[in-house]
A and B are shown apart, each in its own frame.
Chain A
């Protein structure tokens, strides 16, 4: 073996060791410190939370970003990508698209328990359009400003124009948007 070969072997060994060091240093836990989590609260509390992966627990609870945005999912669940469904007996089910602001500030959802309305089913036509529109009532942020409501209505109209939702679904969602109460109201 020539000196050059020895040097190369030594170089290769040290390089592999350096790489191995970083591998060994890798945290074994699924949730590393500092990565995104989402705190979900509801009024009333004790609501069942469902994410794209299925039931996630009861409010208040904390989930990870990967629970909301899994790297893979069944195509049949595509409409749930990035969404939070909250259900509580006697309240209208609530569907919310998670934003970066939510992850930063946490999510506090007011459930409409005034009317024992029939459960709002998932609009089937939205299944092909993940995270189509936010149709929830978060109390955080500026999500309930009139301008945002106007934008929601515009998006809704576009979905209708593109035949992604039926007129009946459009009417039902439009009513929900227009019935939203302002923050604190």
Chain B
């Protein structure tokens, strides 16, 4: 009964959404734009169009800029002239803001895996979805810093989360090797999530646990091959604990939770018109324990990942990308530590940017729970089969409105294990909103 009521509400909302879309389309067509000035554009007195094909997606020059230690050769011109050649202070505080706000209608529910208690909101005002403050500047001939902090991400009011935060050192000791030290995403070596056009995520990265971590990455081009080699703590970016064994009140804190490090590498090369890449990672992760595997265990278990990625262009306005990841989680579940679990997934997408006003994206996520299916744990939920269609309209270079529809092709499952796990509700959604950077 409740489900039926929810569907009726969704149906009503969708009709209203269509009317809103008509209004938006008419309004958009009457808009007149102007130039936008986010931080890098401000610093170098350049249009956003210099680096973005459609914000936040980078174009060829934008990728070159990012790879070139996030600077142009004339970066010193943007520093304050203080008469000290050993001081390159930015001539203004290098800050930028990104903000997003959405309205969403969805079918997904919150279900307690232990009790089955559920909560449902057919419509949801997710505004603000996030407010992000970013900062970056070249500090010396070789060193650049970059960080951003998110305020109230996804409704987490009272929280500030620092995600990307690093120093990069170009041409380490004249070796041609670039080094990046700090917090970053392992998956950035393939397709950076932060510059994707759809609202929907590159889900396999999240589920494989190769998003944010603390560590170091070394990069170098060798002939046609772009090589990255990295080491991370392997336990994300939230953990830390006091070090009390030397005595009371010591200031040092431990960010890692074990001595092992995750090692990862990515090899990339252009083969004709296609950019190909191979990714591999190996490390430890804490086991899953407790009812439905919802708790973190005490055992360090082996984790290995192998990935293949490819991307390219179709004509001058279309970009495509494909990602595949194979995952091995050995002895991951405390319920059966002798068992090794394999699962795989990936995504594929196309971005079409026909002009400066519009961008259209298709993103398909497909993941299989593999050996973790039918385990009676929340990891049954690795399975996914969804298609997201996104339309973005750029009021300005740096202000866009988006509408996205997600179609869930995975069949709903019924509860079979003692716990409420698996694909218990569909995850169709429709979303409207704004995304801006300034």
Q: Hey, which bits of chain A sit against chain B, CB under 8 A?
A: 3-4, 7-8, 10-12, 14-19, 21-23, 25-36, 65-66, 69-73, 78, 81-82, 99-101, 103-104, 129-134, 147, 150-152, 154-155, 158-159, 164
CA–CA, A135 and B73, complex, Å: 14
Q: Are B356 and A3 in contact (CB under 8 A)?
A: no
Instruction: Using known A-B contacts A8-B428, A15-B405, A65-B49, determine if residue A155 contacts B18 with beta carbons closer than 8 Å.
Output: no
A35 contacts B14, CB within 8 Å?
no
A21-B18 Cα distance, complex, nearest whole Å: 8
Does B210 interact with chain A (Cβ within 8 Å)?
Answer: no
Tell me the minimal C-beta distance from B85 to chain A in angstroms. 9
17 contacts across the A-B interface (CB closer than 8 A): A11-B7, A11-B11, A11-B14, A11-B428, A19-B21, A19-B403, A19-B405, A22-B391, A27-B358, A32-B357, A34-B32, A35-B397, A99-B46, A100-B37, A100-B47, A150-B81, A151-B77
- 8 further A-B pairs in the complex, CB-CB below 8 A; given A8-B107, A12-B407, A19-B21: A15-B428, A18-B430, A23-B360, A30-B354, A32-B357, A36-B49, A82-B46, A155-B76
Which residues of the other chain, A, contact B426 by a CB distance below 8 angstroms?
A: 8
A-B interface, 3 closest residue pairs, ranked by CB to CB distance from nearest: A7-B7, A34-B33, A25-B25
**Could you count the A-B residue pairs with CB atoms below 8 Å apart for me: how many are there?**
172
Which A-chain residue is minimally distant from B37 (CB atoms)? Answer: A100
Q: With an 8 A cutoff between CB atoms, is B24 at the interface?
A: yes
What DSSP secondary structure best describes chain A's contact surface? helix
- Asked if A26 contacts B358 (CB within 8 A), the reply is yes
Query: Which bracket fits the contact residues of B?
Result: 35 or more
Q: Looking at the assembled complex, report how far the CB atom of A144 sits from the nearest CB atom of chain B, in whole angstroms.
A: 14
**A15 touching B33, Cβ below 8 Å:** no
- Complex Cα gap A17–B17 (Å): 10
Contact partners of A33 in chain B: CB under 8 A: 32-33
A34–B391 contact, CB under 8 A? Answer: no
B73 near A8: Cβ-Cβ < 8 Å: no
Query: In the complex, A152 Cα to B407 Cα: how many Å?
Result: 54
- Asked whether, in the complex, the Cβ of A4 is within 8 Å of the Cβ of B18, the reply is no
B274 within 8 A of A: no
Flag B384-414 by CB within 8 Å of A: 1 or 0 each: 0000010101000100000101010000000
CB distance from A53 to the nearest CB of B (A): 10
User: Chain A residues near B50 (CB, 8 Å)?
Assistant: 69, 82
Contact B73 A133 (CB under 8 A): yes
Cβ contacts under 8 Å, B77 to chain A: 151-152, 154-155
**Cα distance, A33 to B355, chains bound together (Å):** 11
- On chain A, the residues within 8 Å of B28 by CB distance are 25
Closest B residue by C-beta to A17: B18
Contacting residues, chain B, for A23 (C-beta < 8 A): 360, 391
In the bound complex, CA of A30 to CA of B64 (Å): 25
Cβ of B67 to closest chain A Cβ, rounded Å: 12
Which A residues are CB-close (under 8 A) to B114? none
One digit per residue, 1 when the CB lies within 8 angstroms of any chain A CB and 0 when it does not, for chain B 267-283 equals 00000000000000000
Taken residue by residue from 43 to 81, chain B's Cβ proximity to chain A (1 for < 8 Å, 0 otherwise) reads as 001110110010000011100100000001110110001
CB atoms of B29 and A71 under 8 A apart: no
Q: Which A residues are CB-close (under 8 A) to B313?
A: 72
Contact B316 A155 (CB under 8 A): no
Q: Does B82 contact A (CB under 8 A)?
A: no
Q: Determine which of B10, B22, B34, B46 lies in contact with A11 in the assembled complex, contact meaning CB atoms within 8 Å.
A: B10
For residues 1 through 48 of chain B, which have their beta carbon under 8 Å from a beta carbon of chain A?
3-4, 7-8, 10-11, 14-15, 17-18, 21-22, 24-26, 28-29, 31-35, 37, 41, 45-47
Among candidates B14, B29, B76, residue contacting A27 with C-beta atoms closer than 8 Å: B29
Q: Residues of A contacting B353 with CB < 8 Å?
A: 71
Name which of A8, A129, A150, A152 has the most chain B CB atoms within 10 A of its CB. A8
Query: Given that A18-B403, A21-B25 are contacting pairs, would A133 and B391 also be in contact in the complex, using a CB cutoff of 8 Å?
Result: no
Contacting residue for B25 out of A22, A82, A133, CB 8 A: A22
A71 CA to B50 CA, complexed, in Å: 8
B64 neighbours in A (Cβ, 8 Å): 78, 130
How long is the Cα–Cα vector from A13 to B59 in the complex, in angstroms? 34
Instruction: Quote the shortest CB–CB distance from B427 to chain A (angstroms).
Output: 12
* Pair A21/B53 contact, Cβ less than 8 Å: no
Asked if B73 contacts A158 (CB within 8 A), the reply is yes
Question: How far, in angstroms, from A159 to B25 measured CA to CA in the complex?
Answer: 49
- Report the bound CA distance from A133 to B44 in whole Å: 11
A106–B49 Cα gap in the complex (Å)?
Answer: 17
Interchain CB contact under 8 A, B41 and A26: no
Which residue of chain B is the closest to A159 with respect to CB atoms? B73
Chain B residue nearest to A133 (CB atoms) is B74
What is the distance, in angstroms, from A73's C-beta to the closest C-beta of chain B? 6
A147 touching B81 by the CB < 8 A rule? yes
Report whether A65 and B358 are in contact in the complex, using a CB–CB cutoff of 8 Å.
no
Query: Are B72 and A18 within 8 A (Cβ)?
Result: no
Query: Are B45's CB and A14's CB within 8 A?
Result: no
Complex: A21 Cα to B61 Cα, angstroms: 33
Distance between Cα atoms of A101 and B42 in the complex (Å): 11
- Smallest Cβ-Cβ distance to B21: which chain A residue: A18
A173 to B73, CA, bound (A): 16
